[in-house]
Amino acid sequence: MSEEPREQAARPKRRRVKVGTVHSLSGDRTIHVVVNNLVKHPMYGKYIARRTKLAVHDPQSAAKRDDVVEIAPCRRVSKTKSWRLVRIVRRGEPTAPVPGQEE
């Protein structure tokens, strides 16, 4: 019997990206993104709204508050930052400045 090398089907790797809204600009090249998702309750079956606030690395400081952005996991950049900005999906509407929040 001759053994032929098995060809692996080139499956595209699933990108683990999340889409969220920029909640705040904190420091240089760091943004906080809020990701909303629905989780089904294990006993009652009702869907519950959950949110996660993630620290994201933004190398060009391109994102502004209320922008909808796409983020992906990366190697840890700091103690809390392990996500990076992939792209800005949609620019946010300009809002009135919040007292104490500098942009």
Residue bearing the bigger pLDDT, 2 or 40: 40
CATH architecture of 18-90: Beta Barrel (2.40)
Residue 6 has a pLDDT of: 63
Mean pLDDT of 72-94: 92
Nearest CA to 54 among 28, 38, 72? Answer: 72
Helix (H) or strand (E) holding 88: strand 81-90
Residue bearing the bigger pLDDT, 7 or 51: 51
- Residue range 30-42, pLDDT digits in tens: 999 999 999 999 9
CB atoms closer than 10 angstroms to residue 56:
25
CB atoms closer than 10 angstroms to residue 82:
15
HEC-encoded secondary structure of 6-37:
CCCCCCCCCCCCEEEEEEEECCCCEEEEEEEE
**CA atoms of 103 and 91, how far apart (whole Å):** 15
> Structure pTM?
0.74
